[in-house]
């Protein structure tokens, strides 16, 4: 267990879902807020990086004492994409096991970034995630992100926010920008 609970109050379960952009960015904002109050954060990327330089992974190097970025080898397009992560595990299943047995006892906030896609693919069972939520320490919060999230998780969450895409530039005219989109 942590030496002390840095963040006051009871932890929450937050779902950030929908087809719009910004779910991971919002989770990063919450992570920064937690770190501002001396909280510890474990941020697990459940999908592999599309780009070798993810801004959030690069930035995490400055916050090694407070922010642990975790990548999953089986999900990375190339092994070199995981070079900047604090640590990595072999598979999605390994990440969920570590989250449950180790990491949730070492942090105030755990982000399960894009876990929704793993649930949708059937790589993770909904009951495994519900069990993780039920067993979390009282003061720890969990943020789950994904384009879709099973209703059982949304019902259990304290807060669910849906991101909706209203407008997006065409991919032919504007590609993803380093520092803005990744």
Q: Render pLDDT for 6-55 as a digit per residue (tens, 0 to 9).
A: 677 899 999 999 999 999 999 999 999 999 999 999 999 998 766 556 77
Per-residue pLDDT tens digits for 118-172: 999 999 999 999 999 999 999 999 999 999 999 999 999 999 999 999 987 766 6
Cα–Cα distance list, 134 to 17, 47, 100, 168 (Å): 20, 24, 11, 37
Binned at pLDDT 50, 70 and 90, residue 3 comes out as very low
Q: 112 has which bridge partners?
A: 44, 144
Which run of H or of E encompasses 35? helix 23-36
pTM of structure:
0.88
Pairing outcome for strands 67-72 and 159-162: unpaired
pLDDT at 157: 98
Domain at 13-162: CATH code:
3.40.50.300
Residue 71: count other Cβ atoms within 10 Å of its Cβ. Answer: 26
pLDDT band at 79 (very low <50, low <70, confident <90, very high): confident
**Residues contacting 165, CB < 8 A, separation 6+:** 18, 19, 20, 21
């Amino acid at each position: 267990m942590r030496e002390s609970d840095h963040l006051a109050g009871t932890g929450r379960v937050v779902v950030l879902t929908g087809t719009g952009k910004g779910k991971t960015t919002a989770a990063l904002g919450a992570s920064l807020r937690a770190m501002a109050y001396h909280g510890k954060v474990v941020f697990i990327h459940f999908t592999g990086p599309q780009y070798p330089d993810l801004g959030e992974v690069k930035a995490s190097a400055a916050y090694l004492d407070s922010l642990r970025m975790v990548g999953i080898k089986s999900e990375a397009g190339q092994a070199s994409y995981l070079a900047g992560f604090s640590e990595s595990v072999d598979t999605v299943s390994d990440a969920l096991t570590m989250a449950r047995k180790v990491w949730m006892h070492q942090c105030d906030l755990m982000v399960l970034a894009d876990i929704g896609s793993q649930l949708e693919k059937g790589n993770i069972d909904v009951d495994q995630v519900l069990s993780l939520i039920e067993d979390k320490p009282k003061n720890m919060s969990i943020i789950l992100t994904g384009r879709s999230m099973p209703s059982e998780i949304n019902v259990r969450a304290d807060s669910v926010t849906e991101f909706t895409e209203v407008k997006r530039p065409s991919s032919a005219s504007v590609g993803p920008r380093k520092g803005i989109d990744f």
